[in-house]
Amino acid sequence: MAWEYKIVYFGLDTLDEDDYEERLHERVHMLNELGSGGWELITFLSHRTADKLDKYHAVFKRPATG
């Protein structure tokens, strides 16, 4: 079976930011939208950058549509 892959890259700054909750909600909504579109989350990786920000990579797959 052939697969399609999608990598989503995003960041969230520290909890001290005023709009942290809103941005977090937007990211969760985006991930849910991908899931409802047939994309299966296969890995979620986080890392801290040199400037102390948290960055994330979400990798999705779904059967190729042909």
The Cα-based distances of 13 to 18, 27, 41, 43, 58 in angstroms read 10, 12, 23, 21, 17
Name the domain count of the chain. Answer: 1
Q: Which domain holds residue 15?
A: 3-63
Grade residue 33 by pLDDT with cuts at 50, 70 and 90: very high
pLDDT tops 80 at residue 66: no
* 3-16 confidence digits (pLDDT tens): 999 999 887 666 66
